[in-house]
Amino acid sequence: MMFAMPRWIDTHCHLDAREFAHDVDAVRQRAHERGVGHIVIPAVDVHNFDAVRALAHRYGDSYALGIHPLCSPGAGEADLQALEFALEAGRSDPALVAVGEIGLDHFVPELDAEHQEALLRAQLRLARRFDLPVLLHVRRSVDRVLKALRELPVPGGIAHAFNGSEQQARQFIAMGFKLGFGGTLTFDRALQVRRLAQALPPEAIVMETDAPDIAPHWLYRTAAERADGQAQARNEPGELPRIAELLAGLRGETPEALAQQTCRNAQAALPKLENLIKNGL
């Protein structure tokens, strides 16, 4: 499938997830029909490198390769070597746009923080070597990720599902990063995220779904279930335009203006996107 210049770019969608295994073609088609012209599909460990690459080429989308912090317990030197090999092999692939999803997760207590950080730094070094931006996971770990980036600067990228302070956000922006916003915005109680999304300069924001995760509030079945975060339905990239319309309302913008700006921002964060989209690859 080849799509025209997108109205929306979903900068973070796990289209290879098992939740989509039975109907991924229909999921991608629905997203296209709702105006999502391009999706960035990040890997989470070496075992799905082939899957994200194949899906990106199948739909004219793009992909990133990396080892997610939640996959860090089973990841070691052999995995880093496999990532290095895959990045080397993908040098000439226009659909390979970033190293990711990488980062730190300090929300899950059983994860080894030291091991996570070692993996992050090794992957930042690979991003520097291959001159690629990064897709960052920063859950309850923003300051540690910023410290690693100061010591190992990379060619920018996206801080995915950002939920830090405005001061932290501006540190990322100063390093050339964009900040990803998605379904969390749709919850009335997400006051910090909403305030941040309203306060940031227009050139700092990109849209994402993180599908099948971080579903918007309307995918919860009842008000009571929404209130306690239970009974989440599967999120899809096709939900992005409705999420973005809410953000446009918060910022006092039209959805059309937000679409144009966030698409420009995504291409600035991930420079290989521009030619990929222009050429319809």
Which residue positions form the known binding site? 12, 14, 101, 137, 160, 210
Indicate the pLDDT class of residue 277, thresholds 50, 70 and 90.
Answer: confident
pLDDT in tens, 18-64: 999 999 999 999 999 999 999 999 999 999 999 999 999 999 999 99
SS3 of 5, please?
A: coil
Which residue positions form the known binding site for a divalent metal cation? 12, 14, 101, 137, 160, 210
DSSP 176-212: TEEEEE-GGGGSTT-HHHHHHHHHS-GGGEEE---TT
pLDDT in tens, 180-214: 999 999 999 999 999 999 999 999 999 999 999 99
How far apart are alpha carbons 87 and 129 in whole angstroms? Answer: 10
CATH class of the domain whose range is 8-279: alpha beta
Average pLDDT on 220-249 reads 82
